Chains A and B, each alone.
Chain A
Amino acid sequence: MSGVERTYRCRCIVKGSGCGEAIVSREPMCFYLCDPETGTVIEKSHPLQGKSLAGKVLVLQSGKGSSVVQVDGFYQLWVKGTLPAAIIVRETEPVLVSSAVVVDAVMVDRLEADPFDVISDGDWVEVDADEQLVRVRAVQ
């Protein structure tokens, strides 16, 4: 792992910490349309279709979809251990927050820089929600 490490302030939504390879979704996401066994996005024509979220740090535009199924989506991934290690949200939305609280999925928002500008797929990202810090090591 090479590259410069940069640190950004953020705001804690759900406590805890997690680290992993970054996966960026510029589109909102409905977690119910993921395969719980593998954490793979199965939503037709979603930019991340076919990619797994499991153990990664997800940089997410926002949530979408029915209020009911988002919670179950999180729950199923939690039970199977395929949740992202942490989620960095760009546009926070109530259903997404509730879903994360129920299963204690680490979540932050309000990164001091636009996360889409400073985090790319494959970067190594550490999210410390308790300290409200995100560290990014870019892949060259």
Chain B
Amino acid sequence: MLLTDEEKRMLEGQCGKGVMKAMELLVALGKAFDAERLIPVTRTHVALSGQEGDTYWCGLLADGGARCTVIPTTNPAWDVASLTKRYDVTAEELDLALRTVDVYRRIGAALTFCCTPGLGTNVPAFGEHVAFSESSATPYVNSILGARTNRESSVSALAAAVVGKTPLYGLHLDENRRGQFLVRVEAPLGEPYDWGLLGWYVGRFAGSRVPVLHMPHVGSRPSPESLLYLGAELNTSGAVPMYHIVGITPEAQTLEKAFGGSVPEAECVVTKRDLREQEDAVSEKGGRINLVMLGCPHYTYAQIREVERLMKGRHVRDGVAFWILTSYDALELASRSGERERLAELGVDLVADTCIDEPCWKSFEGGLGVTDSPKCAYYRERRGQPFVIRRLSGCVEAAVCGEAL
């Protein structure tokens, strides 16, 4: 791999130990993927997680004197100030949360604590080279915005934010952005939930290949939320950092363009029945619930309004908590516009800066939850809470009657 004199100095430790570690990681990645050189990035998003592994790495760089040169936005951990009033955590868990905020402040990140940067806080333009981690954000900026990022980890994105560069390989190159296999979607797709199920289904056999979704019957343009759900699930059941939808995504205006002149390796059809069977396979069986958890990825303002509409003024059943995890700007908008207060009266709480996969939710573990996100269920499983997965209207009905059907 070709390094400039400045890059060599960084790698040798002449710019400090933190920069050296960041450079070591970028060079290892570059070598592993046969990158010729490093290229500058103009934006970064770091999937800060409030987990030890990630905080350890940020601390290693920050304590070694490194500071971000391309200021990253950050993923959520959890809102310590508001959630510690409601739920107990151990001293260690609280300490980790506070240390995480501290090291990311020190390294110079913009603490947005939001997992949907591409919807508002950090939006790259078509063709821009960036380094975005977060499994739902990576496919969104590649596929929908047409910016270029690899499937970064939190640690490689932070290294790119420090050095201001990333190795030139993978999805930064035209030839790797072409579709590899064709998915003919016959199943009807409506709300984000349907797109999420499709993503989970296709991700299972996609591996890390780029799927081209062909769905001529889907007349209107899917909402940003639907596209976000599709990518989040593709990149959770599989490792898909990019997809095309013929006629919708910017690099796939036609089927031919989506494949860049090459022939699909394989082709499959997804029917309504496939998605119904997928739904049964991924979800727990219904039963009494203690938690409704929405917002993986973070709910938008439009989705918060949709929850209020579906609640129809009814109250959440006693013994059930109903949380919507959202971005700081959507929370602010819902506070100003009245939805937050009205929902609170019905027993529906909003919180920003917070991920589903955090220790603040442990009092619900052992019980059954309901969510509209297979990704949420997948990560909560490790923490001992099984989830029933239902479309939003089903989640709301479960909240009202205390039981998921």
A contact set with B: CB distance below 8 Å: 13-14, 28, 32-33, 42, 44, 62-76, 79, 91-95, 97-99, 101-103, 109
B contact set with A: CB distance below 8 Å: 24-25, 28-29, 31-33, 47, 49, 51-54, 56-57, 75, 133-135, 138, 150-156, 170, 207-208, 235-239, 357, 375, 378-379, 381-382
Assembled-state Cα–Cα distance A66/B157 (Å): 14
Query: Residue of A at shortest CB range from B386?
Result: A44
The interface residues of chain A lying within 8 Å CB-to-CB of B236 are: 65-66
12 contacts between A and B (CB under 8 A): A13-B28, A32-B382, A64-B237, A67-B133, A71-B57, A72-B52, A75-B51, A76-B52, A76-B53, A93-B208, A94-B33, A99-B153
Given A66-B379, A67-B134, A72-B28 contact (CB < 8 Å):
no
Q: Interface on chain A toward B: helix, strand, loop, or mixed SS?
A: helix
Query: Residue of A at shortest CB range from B150?
Result: A94
Known A72-B54, A94-B29; further 4 A-B contacts with Cβ < 8 A: A33-B382, A62-B208, A64-B238, A102-B57
Q: State the Cβ distance, A140 to closest chain B Cβ, in Å.
A: 33
Q: State the Cβ distance, A47 to closest chain B Cβ, in Å.
A: 14
Q: Determine which of A68, A92, A102 lies in contact with B47 in the assembled complex, contact meaning CB atoms within 8 Å.
A: A68
Assembled-state Cα–Cα distance A65/B128 (Å): 25
The interface residues of chain B lying within 8 Å CB-to-CB of A102 are: 25, 53, 56-57, 155
The interface residues of chain A lying within 8 Å CB-to-CB of B32 are: 13, 92, 94, 97, 109
Q: Determine which of B52, B57, B237, B239 lies in contact with A95 in the assembled complex, contact meaning CB atoms within 8 Å.
A: B239
Q: Determine which of A33, A67, A72, A103 lies in contact with B152 in the assembled complex, contact meaning CB atoms within 8 Å.
A: A67
Q: State the Cβ distance, A64 to closest chain B Cβ, in Å.
A: 5
Q: State the Cβ distance, B93 to closest chain A Cβ, in Å.
A: 14
The interface residues of chain B lying within 8 Å CB-to-CB of A44 are: 381
Assembled-state Cα–Cα distance A109/B56 (Å): 26
Assembled-state Cα–Cα distance A125/B323 (Å): 49
Instruction: Please report the number of residue pairs spanning A and B whose Cβ atoms sit closer than 8 angstroms.
Output: 121
Q: State the Cβ distance, A125 to closest chain B Cβ, in Å.
A: 21
Q: Residue among B25, B51, B53 with the most chain A CB within 10 A?
A: B53
The interface residues of chain A lying within 8 Å CB-to-CB of B239 are: 28, 62-65, 93, 95
Assembled-state Cα–Cα distance A14/B379 (Å): 28
Assembled-state Cα–Cα distance A109/B37 (Å): 21
The interface residues of chain A lying within 8 Å CB-to-CB of B207 are: 28, 62, 91
The interface residues of chain A lying within 8 Å CB-to-CB of B153 are: 67-68, 70-71, 94-95, 98-99
- B53 and A97 within 8 A (CB): no
Assembled-state Cα–Cα distance A74/B56 (Å): 12
Q: State the Cβ distance, B122 to closest chain A Cβ, in Å.
A: 16
Given A92-B33, A94-B156, A94-B170, A67-B53 contact (CB < 8 Å):
no
Assembled-state Cα–Cα distance A67/B151 (Å): 7
The interface residues of chain B lying within 8 Å CB-to-CB of A67 are: 47, 133-135, 138, 151-154
The interface residues of chain A lying within 8 Å CB-to-CB of B151 are: 67, 93-95
Given A74-B53, A91-B208, A68-B33 contact (CB < 8 Å):
no
The interface residues of chain A lying within 8 Å CB-to-CB of B47 are: 66-68
Given A62-B239, A63-B239, A102-B155, A42-B382 contact (CB < 8 Å):
yes
The interface residues of chain B lying within 8 Å CB-to-CB of A74 are: 53
Top 7 closest A-B pairs, CB basis? A75-B53, A72-B53, A72-B51, A98-B153, A66-B135, A68-B47, A68-B49
